[in-house]
Amino acid sequence: MITSNIIAGKSVKGSGQTFVGHNPSTLLPIDGDFEIASQENVEQAVSAAKEAFNTYKNTSGVKKAELLRTIAAEIEALGDQLIQRAMQESGLPEGRFKGERGRTIGQLKMFADLVEEGSWVDAVIDTAIPDRKPLPRVDIRNMMQALGPVVIFGASNFPLAFSTAGGDTASALAAGCPVIVKAHPSHPGTNALVSEAIATALEKCGLPAGVYSTLYDNGHTIGGALVQHPDITAVGFTGSEAGGKALMDLAAKRENPIPVYAEMGSTNPVFILPEKLNAEVDKLPAQIAFSVNMGVGQFCTNPGLLFVQENENLEQFTSNLEKEFSGLGSFTMLNDGIYKNYVSKRENALQTEGVTTVQASGTSTNTLKAPPAIAKISYQQFMENTNLHEEIFGPFTLMVVCQNKTEMLNLAHTLKGQLTSTFMGTDSDLESNTDLIDVVSQKVGRIVFNGVPTGVEVGHAMHHGGPFPASSNGRYTSVGTGAIKRFARPIAWQNCPNTLLPDALKEGNPLNIWRKVNGELTRS
């Protein structure tokens, strides 16, 4: 059976070429061909999205909420079929997908609540002051409005929560932007199921089918064409630094440059402070090992660097880490490319001069099972080997041993932009390292105390995005309600008759939202 691209609710003929999904656990192809999109499909999808935008941008928050909740219900209705397909295509276990489906549905409902309530548009009203001297003040009203058609790239490491109907799509749809999903070639079948759910939801809600399309390609041609299309207004991406940077460059070279929101990952350094290490020499290693191997290390917040100081308990700490890591299983990675990259980067790191292996399981042939590893290196040699400062995507972490706090501070200064950094410290550790925390806060999007960076909470306060190269633009988050701001821009209405204003800006506040009126937040 050939699955074709879905454009505005219809299965549309593509290039004629196809590809198949693979099961990373068995290394065998999975039944079902997926048709690679054509350049014509790109035109069709963008044109449908542009047309749909005329209606969808002015769709009420209540109606958009209905859509998002209907998509959630349709995904739920896919039942076990979706879980099984995602497992087959990713090698990840059932429990993980039940959790990830819950998160995906939760995100859709969270954005539904957000746009139904409506205050996210940041309505600001400065009323007229006709008798102001020397010049009268005119009435100006401002609110966020949807950008236009956007392209979302599915992420391999979250086939549900950061792919077809994941956080990027949910936030773009919530903002009022039609979405074209470039399916990730590692999970085309999962994409097809979720895409059907979205198309069905649009139909059930009586909204234009062009609000959603999905295109397949196992190369970069279709993604590149979408990003360069003049009518595309923004791009969402989760993946590698190389992939994200390539999209940023394409977007910057357009005749009309557009924003690319690329979440590209980082090494998420963990600073383990001396007192805490002493106090929890038996407890921390298990916590760290668990976090490093979670999701087979395939999380953007995976702790890839551990910064410690020389200490009477360091040997015991290291030996406990060794024990914990030797107890970890090897699990199947998402695809062949990720596995090969992991094995080769891990090997390079372990072979780098100065690096001592603490614990590293061996690789096995004919599987994509990633052997976890932990190694250590001195501060001095870490500083000399900048290749070790880069992310190794998988269950690997490197412990860097400093002689003193000054060296730890130097490490903090050399850090590039990070999604997260973590401090493991007692109250007194933290109090005596406020300078270190201050330096680190300038390099990260989120700073974690006495916890692990994996497990990104989806909420209002989350910030998932750090200075480049952690993400393309550290001012935006890809997780949590704040993510909607990526897909909207303020528009000001000056001296506009009340009947022509968007409801959010009308006299009498008919939507009952929070608005800043003459500088004061009010709901009246």
Active site (catalytic) residues: 263, 300
Is residue 265 close enough to count as binding its own copies by CB under 8 A?
A: no
140 binds its own copies (CB under 8 A): yes
Q: Which of 438, 507, 510, 512 binds its own copies (CB under 8 A)?
A: 438
Relative orientation angle of helices 221-228 and 241-252, to the nearest 10 degrees: 40
Minimum CB distance to its own copies smaller for 396 or for 476 = 476
Q: How far is CA 355 from CA 77, 120, 164, 380, in A?
A: 50, 49, 40, 11
Nearer to its own copies, 87 or 448 (CB): 448
Q: How many CB atoms lie within 10 A of CB 168?
A: 32
- 329 versus 451: smaller Cβ distance to its own copies: 451
* Token pair in block for residue 423: 């401090």
Considering only residues 460 to 479 of the shown chain, the ones binding its own copies according to CB under 8 A are 460-463, 467-469, 472-475, 477
Partners of residue 123 on adjacent β-strands: 515
Among 26, 77, 138, 507, binds its own copies (CB under 8 A): 138
Q: How far is the CB of 81 from its own copies (least distance, A)?
A: 23
Q: Quote the CA–CA distance of 295 and 335 in Å, as a whole number.
A: 13
Residue with tokens 């952690």: 470
Candidates 80, 336, 384, 431; binder of its own copies (CB under 8 A) is 431
Among 91, 159, 210, 417, binds its own copies (CB under 8 A): 417
175 neighbors 148 (Cβ within 8 angstroms): no
Q: How far is the C-alpha of 107 from the C-alpha of 477, rounded, in Å?
A: 14
The nearest distance, CB 277 to its own copies, in angstroms, is 18
Instruction: Report the distance separating Cα 379 and Cα 369, nearest Å.
Output: 31
Cis peptide before 134 (omega within 30 of 0): yes
The Cα angle at residue 193 between residues 233 and 86, in degrees rounded to 5: 105
Total residues in contact with its own copies, by rule CB under 8 A: 75
**Cα(419)–Cα(234) distance, integer angstroms:** 21
List the one residue out of 385, 328, 314, 392 whose CA is nearest residue 359.
328
Q: How far apart are CA 453 and CA 449, in angstroms?
A: 9
Long-range contacts of 431-437, Cβ-Cβ distance < 8 Å, separation of 24 or more: 433/271, 433/273, 433/405, 435/409, 436/271, 436/405, 436/408, 436/409, 436/412
Handedness of CA 98, 188, 148, 245 (dihedral sign): positive
Query: Which of the ranges 61-69, 173-181, 205-213, 458-466 carries the binding residues for its own copies, by CB under 8 A?
Result: 458-466
CB of 383 to its own copies, least distance (A): 18
Whose Cβ is closer to its own copies: residue 62's or residue 521's? Answer: 521
Could you say which of 75, 334, 448, 483 contacts its own copies (CB under 8 A)?
Answer: 448
Comparing CB distances to its own copies, the nearer of 217 and 429 is 429
Out of 43, 76, 116, 126, the only residue in the binding site for its own copies (CB under 8 A) is: 126
Place of tokens 């039940």: 98
Q: Is 445 one of the binding residues for its own copies (CB under 8 A)? A: yes
* Residue of the chain from 8, 402, 488, 504 that contacts its own copies (CB under 8 A): 488
Q: Running DSSP on this structure, what letter comes out for residue 137?
A: B
Judged by DSSP in three states, 102 sits in helix
* Closest distance to its own copies from the beta carbon of 249 (Å): 7
Among 257, 327, 329, 510, binds its own copies (CB under 8 A): 257
Here's the x/- map for its own copies, 69-108, by CB under 8 A: it reads as ------------------------------x---------
Pairing of strands 418-424, 260-263: unpaired
Residue from 427, 507, 510, 512 in contact with its own copies (CB under 8 A)? 427
Instruction: Please give, one letter per residue, the 3-state secondary structure of 258-316.
Output: CCEEEECCCCCCEEECHHHHHHCCCCHHHHHHHHHHHHHHCCCCCCCEEEEECCCCHHH
Whole-number minimum distance, CB 368 to its own copies, in Å?
A: 28
**Shortest CB 132 distance to its own copies, Å:** 10
Q: Which of residues 220-239 bind its own copies (CB under 8 A)?
A: none
Using CB under 8 A as the binding rule, whether residue 492 contacts its own copies is answered as yes
**Whole-number Å distance between alpha carbons of 455 and 422:** 13
| Residues 493-522 contacting its own copies, CB under 8 A | 493-497, 499-500, 514, 516, 518-519, 521
Closest CB 405 distance from its own copies, rounded Å: 17
Here's the x/- map for its own copies, 18-57, by CB under 8 A: it reads as: ------------------------------------x--x
Q: Rounded to the nearest whole angstrom, what is the least distance from the CB of residue 188 to its own copies in the complex?
A: 30
Contact flag: residue 148 with its own copies (CB under 8 A): yes
Of 7-15, 155-163, 208-216, 245-253, the window that binds its own copies (rule: CB under 8 A) is 245-253
| 248 in contact with its own copies (CB under 8 A) | yes
Residue among 444, 484, 504, 511 that touches its own copies (CB under 8 A): 444
Single out the segment in contact with its own copies by CB under 8 A; choices: 9-17, 290-298, 357-365, 457-465: 457-465
CA distances to 59, 288, 427 from 450, in Å: 44, 11, 10
447 makes contact with its own copies (CB under 8 A): yes
Three-state DSSP state, 399: strand
Within residues 381-410, the interface with its own copies by CB under 8 A covers none
| C-alpha torsion 164→166→172→174, nearest 10 | 120
Nearest CA among 333, 317, 239 for reference residue 278:
317
Stretch touching its own copies by CB under 8 A, among 150-158, 253-261, 333-341, 368-376: 253-261
Minimum CB separation of residue 29 from its own copies in Å reads 35
Q: How far is the CB of 142 from its own copies (least distance, A)?
A: 4
